[in-house]
Amino acid sequence: MKKIEVMKSKPIIIFKDNIDTDILIPKNYLKTTKRKGFEKALFSPWRYDVKGDEIKAFPLNIDKNKDRNILITGDNFGCGSSREHAAWALIDYGIDVIIAGGYSPIFYMNYINNNRLPIILDEKYRRELVDDIEIEIDLINKKITQEDRIYSFEIEDSFREKLINGEDNISEILKYEELISSYEESKI
């Protein structure tokens, strides 16, 4: 799994509240459980016109944003129906960090469980971040830096450690393999 300690990128900014999973990845793209192939589906209702042509002004379609891996957005990100495909689509596009005012609890956990970082930051500070200057995300010290501005963020320690160490739920369980085996043997 990918370890997240310090990440640097210029951000993509889509400052809108209540971006739901139907916008992140519409239901017609949910026909597979493979985690790849969703990049083009991400934000498709906003990225493409009715003919399927790119809307050039949409942030994901702007050339300078193509290799950026930090998304800054509004409040209540990932609301709506529960679908892990929303996290997969963001990851497939290359988004490793999202900075929002808040998240749907299910989306928040889906993103963490896919080894990516959702950060909660107050609107005032999110609006101070600009798209043409690199941001440094320091998960070890829980800091966001852009030029001379430094912002602190909170994340539950167990999630932070999991991301820093590149662990997923399976690797976490395997830490206790001996204890589990010992317990199981005692029950035989």
Please list, in sequence order, all residues whose beta carbon lies within 8 angstroms of the beta carbon of residue 118, skipping any fewer than 6 positions away: 77, 97, 98, 100, 103, 107, 108, 111, 112
50 φ/ψ sector (left φ>0, alpha ψ -120 to 50, else beta): alpha
pLDDT in tens, 73-90: 999 999 998 888 999 999
pLDDT in tens, 130-166: 999 999 999 999 999 999 999 999 999 999 999 999 9
Q: Band the pLDDT of 32: cuts 50, 70, 90.
A: low
Q: Is pLDDT of 184 > 90?
A: no
The conformation of residue 140, written as its DSSP 8-state character, comes to T
Note whether 9 and 117 are within 8 A (CB): no
User: How many C-beta atoms lie closer than 10 Å to residue 128's C-beta?
Assistant: 12
- Domains in the chain with CATH codes: 6-186 (3.20.19.10)
Cα–Cα distance measured from residue 129 to residue 33, given in angstroms and rounded to the nearest whole number: 35
Contact status, residue 76 vs residue 18, Cβ threshold 8 Å: yes
